[in-house]
Structure 1
Amino acid sequence: MNRAPGVLEQALAQHQAGQLDVAQALYQQLLQANPANPDALHFLGLLSCQKGDANSGIALMRRSIAAYPNAIYYNNLGNALREHGELLKAIDSYRQAVALQPDYPEAHNNLGNALREAGQPCEALESCTQALRLRPGYAQAHNNQGNALQDLGEQDAAVRAYRQALAFWPDYAEAHHNLGNVLLAQGQHEAASESYRCATTLSPTCAFMHNNLGDALQRAGQFEAAVAAFSRVVELEPASAAGYSRLGDAYQAWGGKLEAAALCYQSASELDPADVQAHHKLSLVRLRQRRAEEALVSSNKALALEHASAQLHISHGDILNTLDDVDGALASYRYALSLNDELELAHNRLIFEMASRAEASAETRLADARRFGALMAARAKPFQHRRESTTVLGVPKELRPLRVGFVSGDLRQHPTGIFFESVLKHLDTARITLIAYTTIAAEDEVTARLKPCFAAWNSLVDVPDEVAAHRIFDDRIDILVDLSGHIVHNRLPLFAWRPAPVQVSWLGFFGTTGIETMDYILGDRHVLPAAEAWHFSEKTWCLPDSYLCFTPPLEHVPVRPPPMLKNGYVTFGFFGKLAKVTEEVIRVWSRVLCAAPSSRLFLKAQQLEAPEARRRTLARFAAHGVDAARVTLEGGSPRPEYLATYNQIDVTLSPFPYPGGTTTAEGLWMGVPVLALKGDRFLTHICESILHSAGLPEWIAADEEDYVARALALTAEGGREQLVALREQLREQVMHSPLCDAPRFARNLEAAFDGMWRESLMRQSA
């Protein structure tokens, strides 16, 4: 009789010390003496569960309960069942425990935890509350109460519960972590980071806590610290593909460390070859690195695993576009839309690319845009604007300036900024109050110069369309101007809500938006000829001169004599996006180069920083008989150096059907004339508009043969004399032309807005 308790105490001591084999032998010794010994059965069952034999352990624990039913046994059985994945049986066991012993706080707490896992947060909250009634300082119950409250959406109450848990147990790592979770959900990223830091300090080997710390730090903009947190995750779990993928995300966010990110995604894809997102992210990074062929390899792997992903097909289209496979890109965008017609990005990509496809008919382009517009209209509930709503603080329009809002992600160093800056400074604030609505957070020195021109500067970053539309409506905007169209960072969907009585698209895009509630597209008679008005869902409105006003560079970059005087030959050039240099353009330019064998070509584009892009470009010209020695390729550079490079060419060849816009104006400013080809749609007319505005309509060729003939004529003696004479006076001519006359342009723009507003009032009165 005295021997048995002594052996049990020894067994329990060895069990608690982690000497499981010794404890197991002692429990078995007790059971040899008494096979129905409930304590020996129960604790041997617990030990078996610890050693990974859950089935045997649970069976032994059930035998102990059969021999001696008590609350502690039921509670421990509940724990074992829960860990073994038998949640409903665990709940039944906990209920048996509290039925036998209603004042058992641990069992109430465990029941609450299991009920929460079973998706019963209300019942879980009740059990945790009962545990706290029995033991008010029970930290684990406060923690579980917080979990249940968070499930119920009671975030503030959950925060209080976690803080109560930590008040009773400051070193409770799980409570710090859970507090971080709810703070993160509330958008308190820095506070969440601090809670996660406490958790990881107390539990330094818990990978998921470091992972959540990294997530909070990244959202708080602390990218270097986020990289450190995710690096710790992969140290703890070196076989975690997800960990490497998240580390890659952090490297991208931290100053665009693309190579480090690529290595992380590469590791993730090797650890888990079936990880679609790892392949996809690697393809996107390689594309950003201008390593499009490598991007294509990763993209193909991703699509082989998940062909039904619309987003993958959009990215695949972007890669094909970079590789000059525009037909393949368009097919990818259309396939993405066949999978998910709701994707705005796919619509934008398709509409943008179709605008520059020579073979794309106006009917097809308009149909694509209207399809997008119908989708946006289906999501929106347009505001109704009554005549009395045109007053602001009781003041009617006749006695106040028009309130004009501009929606753009490009109020910075961008073509939109370049063609907008000088105009802003000359708009009459007695006639127009300017309100900005920016769609990206990035700002630069151009942004700093633009901001003072606006009466208010508002950010729409991460603001849903409906909320943004309500803000604009509440601002009592009279005319809302879209400066993006279908280019990146646009917010066209909010225009479908009609937050302003008059809505107009201008400057950023070169075609119809397709938005039914976009009233006007603003251009000039060159880009919006009357015969092409049917290309647009909007009503066309023409400014009297060009629809563009060039802001001369602040940098003083002198115009040098034409390089042909030193070189002895004419150097043609184009300093724009490489995507504009299509196969058709290369064919025509090669005709010029082959017919004028002493001439040279200079191409400058950011994309040409990539070795594969240079190799591919030279090969494309070589296919038309142009030796690589005659083609100079150069990557991007800061604007002063970029402008100075114009001194190395004699003539700019504008591509087609996607001509140079900003590059045309900059080339003219640098004394370099631009040869253009007459087009058949808004996009193709942009260069024509600039040349007309600059007083150079004779530089517009009627067709391909005329284009080639004009280019060749410039390589002859008479043409060279013309180039020398033009170089000497072109900047002065441009500076005094409507292209750079900001005060004149501002008056024209004010008149256009006033005319649109008057038409709006007439429609309301009708």
Structure 2
Amino acid sequence: MLAPLKDAWDALDRDDFRLAEARAREAIARDAQDAEALYLLGSTFLFEGRLPEALAPLTAAAARLQRRGVGYRLGHCQFGLGDLAGAEASLRREAQAYPQSADAQNTLGSVLSAQGRHAEALEAFQAALRVNPAHVEALVNAGTALHTLGRHAEALPLLERAAAAQPGFAHAHLNLGLVQHALQRYEEAAASVGRALAIDPDLPYGLSSQVWAELFACDWRAIGPHIAALRAQAREQRVPVSPFMLLAVTDSPAEQLQATQVYLRDKDFGERPPLSRPMRTRAPRIRIAYLSSDFHQHATAQLMTRLFELHDRSAFEVIGLSTGVNDGSPMRARLERAFDRFIDVERASDAQAARQIADLGVDIAIDLKGHTEGSRMNILGWRPAPVQVTYLGYPATVGAPYIDYVLADRVVIPPEQQRFYTERVVWLPDSYQVNDDRIVVPPAPQSRAAHGLPAQGFVFCAFNNAYKLRPETFALWLRLLRGVPGSVLWLLANNPAMERRLREQAGAAGIAPERLVFAPKLPLGEHLARHACADLFLDTLPVNAHTTASDALRAGVPMVTCMGHTFAGRVAASLLLALGLPELVTDSLGDYEALALKLALQPQALAEVRAKLARNRATSSLFDTARTCRRIEAAYRIMWERHLRGEPPAAFAVEPAATS
């Protein structure tokens, strides 16, 4: 370090930015090419957060000064300004010139992660840890990258080390909680996130992550105040929360939109400069591409694979873009065959995947994930396709300016709720949900005893995920058990904490805990077959059963629902109305309880509903994949024709007469 500027560097070390800037400017006034002074000035601006002003002097210094740290600070500045390519180049040069710079490797990993290049990011974080195994930020970042890549067990010890090494680092505890959640250690997850919130009560995604873990564990001791605080965060738009997690706690579409907008700003999931694309005018076939990380054994694949197979190949070319893992399952193999082209972009960055979509000349890109786990919706931020759509995977607005349309129906999105959607709503006839009509319920006889059910007595069932269950709903279900002697409640065995706590709640309410029966997860065919032992499916609110609901209805089990105000809370009503069963849709929890009790106590009433469900199932569009496919194709044609005419996206309805 040059002696004339030593006092200025000392001033910067003690955060005396005014003195450091003054000394740097004096030196530059004497010699505009003084690399040391340029470095000092850029560093001062960087530490003050004045990134636009820091860029020029740091760039000039990096070109003239061969010193460890210069390229790192330039890359840090470029990263903060959103110049990911520039930051990557600067940090790679720094890491190559000074391989012992753990900070450069760690920040390089963050830059790669921001581009969706998580495997490469992990390599950079691991390089930082080889230099400095105690680098806490690199431990957290490496653990987070492993978590993102689905390698949760490997992530856990890294995050445990980080949290132990720096107990005051809120993000270490938060990310540890997220990994514990992924490993289904929900009570530990809630405790870890609680420690993070004790350090920083306004930690982004902290409260939503804590509530999420508590819901999965059915730990409702503080759920009321926590949900109230989380909803307040969404309304105030002050602290980013997870929009997907919020679906489980609010029945307000306005709150969901507000939270999503804050989330998009925080994650920088806004629109990017549009990519150049091959000129596509009117062609014999519309080229459509479906984007998802769930092209394997998953509920989305269960619903949609038949649609991909049935698309009219004379009118549509159908491409699948997979951003998720290849699980090697028969479903994955079927999906790969279902598309004209199946492209794995799991390891591509968001920008690289967007470039690939643009180069393919895709006309309409359809995202199937929204803001659910594993989403890569940001790929569409570069506008790689002229028309971009969201469908099925996310039951709310995605809030992104680059998504033009959402496929829905008039039940899940009534016309008066359009204002809560940034997309233009396309209303499909009947229900928006597509189903695979080739799925057959196995006819094998089912023994109640084999499923842990009593030989006699009414069986209420609810095979939803634990997070959809709220204390007020469970209290209602316990009242049903009390009102129907000998009845049992058949639930999906999600996790041990859920089972223990629900049994405790039942016992405290005077209901024998053994009247709760937990069903293990089974392959689809066996799961559908065991529905023969159930009498009535009980829905949840504010998030309904979705695929689980159509499974029950396919298997012939009537369902009672209470219709909410959000998309997620109106799906079951959409399915029931499409099946011509409006009598099973209620508007209040009181009516829901009364209807469920009536059906349980009046065998003739239940038998009539069952018979009607069986009749209507055979003719309804809900389980007619070809009919739903033609309707979705009609929607795509209208979207594409509007684009070819130079018209902006607009809401419209697909008429059933034209596609039935």
**Scaled by the length of structure 2, what TM-score is found?**
0.70
Q: Provide the C-alpha distance between the structure 2 equivalents of 1:216 and 1:648, rounded to a whole number of angstroms.
A: 50
Contact preservation (8 Å) 2:390, 2:403: yes
Question: In the alignment, which residue of structure 2 is the partner of 1:299?
Answer: 193
Specify the alignment match of 1:719 in structure 2: 604
The one-letter amino acid paired with 1:366 is L
Counterpart in the other structure of 1:665: 550
- 2:624 is matched with which residue? 741
Counterpart residue type for residue 283 of structure 1: G
Change beyond 3 A, Cα 1:764–1:650: closer
Letter in 1 for 2:195: K
| Cα 1:218–1:489 shift into 2, 3 Å | closer
In the alignment, which residue of structure 1 is the partner of 2:400? 515
Matched AA of 2:579:
A
Cα separation, 1, equivalents of 2:227 and 2:524: 31
User: Which of 467, 470, 477 is the matching residue for 1:579?
Assistant: 467
The percent of aligned pairs where both chains have the same amino acid is 25
Q: Are the counterparts in 2 of residues 562 and 647 from structure 1 also a CA contact under 8 Å?
A: no
Equivalent residues in 2 for 1:277-676 (5 A)?
279-305=173-199, 309-310=203-204, 312=206, 315-322=209-216, 323-324=219-220, 325=223, 328=226, 331=229, 346=241, 349-350=242-243, 352-354=245-247, 357-358=250-251, 360=252, 362-371=253-262, 379-381=270-272, 383=274, 391-392=279-280, 396-397=281-282, 399-445=283-329, 446-461=331-346, 463-551=348-436, 557-558=442-443, 560=445, 567-606=455-494, 609-610=495-496, 612-676=497-561
Partner of 1:760 in structure 2? Answer: 643
Paired amino acid for 1:350: P
Return the offset for 1:507.
0.9
* SS of the residue 1:481 aligns to: strand
Aligned partner of 1:411: which letter? Answer: F
Task: For 2:289, give the aligned amino acid.
Answer: G
The more displaced of 570-579 and 436-445 is: 436-445
Pair 1:339–1:320, CA change in 2 (3 A): farther
Deviation at 1:263, TM superposition (A): 6.2
CA distance in 1, matches of 2:138, 2:361: 48
Letter in 2 for 1:301: R
CA shift digits 1:680-715 (9 cap, x unpaired): 332222112222333433322343343223222223
Name the SS for the 1:310 alignment partner.
coil
CA–CA distance in structure 1, aligned partners of residues 490 and 265 of structure 2 = 44
**For the residues of structure 1 that align with 2:298 and 2:405, how far apart are their CA atoms?**
23
Q: Are the aligned partners of 1:287 and 1:295 in contact in 2 as well (CA < 8 Å)? A: yes
Equivalent residues of 1:495, 1:515 under 8 A apart: no
Corresponding position of 1:710:
595
**How far apart in 2 are the matches of 1:755 and 1:124?**
59
The AA in structure 1 aligned to 2:298 is H
How far, CA to CA, are the matches of 2:148 and 2:639 in structure 1? 43
How much does 1:427 deviate? 0.5
Instruction: Describe the shift of the 1:250–1:123 C-alpha distance in structure 2 as closer, same or farther (beyond 3 A).
Output: closer
| Deviation of the 1:653 alpha carbon | 0.8
Distance 1:638 1:669 in 2: 16
CA distance in 2, matches of 1:545, 1:484: 22
Change (3 A) 1:329 1:625: same
Q: Distance in 2 between matches of 1:499 and 1:718?
A: 56
Question: AA paired with 1:588?
Answer: L
Distance change (3 Å), C-alpha of 1:679 and 1:272: closer
Deviations 1:269-291 (A, max 9, x none): 55664565654454334333433
- Aligned ranges 1:208-287 → 2 under 5 Å: 219=123, 256=151, 258=153, 266=160, 269-270=163-164, 273-274=167-168, 279-287=173-181
Deviation at 1:619, TM superposition (A): 3.0
Counterpart of 1:647, as a letter, is A
Q: Residue by residue, what CA displacement relative to the aligned partner does 1:100-149 show, whole Å, maximum 9, x if unpaired?
A: xxxxxxxxxxxxxxxx9x999888979xxxxxxxxxxxxxxxxxxxxxxx
Of the two structures, which has the highest relative contact order with CA contacts closer than 8 Å and spacing of 6 or more?
Answer: 2
* Counterparts of 2:159 and 2:625, CA distance in 1: 49
- Following superposition, the deviation at residue 230 of structure 1 comes to 9.1
> What is the CA-CA distance between 1:327 and the residue it aligns to?
5.3
Between the aligned partners of 1:539 and 1:339, the Cα distance in structure 2 is 24
Partner of 2:53: none
Structure with larger Rg: 1
Matches within 5 A, 1:100-115: none
Whether 2:583 is the aligned partner of 1:690: answer no
What is the CA–CA distance in structure 1 between the aligned matches of 2:399 and 2:543, rounded to whole Å?
A: 20
DSSP 3-state at the match of 1:541: strand
Deviations 1:207-229 (A, max 9, x none): xxxxxxxx9997499xxxx9xx9
Q: Distance in 2 between matches of 1:367 and 1:617?
A: 33
Opposite residue 713 of structure 1, the aligned amino acid is K
**What residue is the counterpart of 1:79 in the other structure?**
none
State the alpha-carbon separation in 1 of the partners of residues 169 and 417 from structure 2.
Answer: 49
Contact 2:143 2:156 in 1 (8 A): yes
**In structure 2, C-alpha distance between the alignment counterparts of 1:580 and 1:158, rounded to whole Å:** 47
For the aligned residue pairs, the C-alpha RMSD in angstroms reads: 5.1
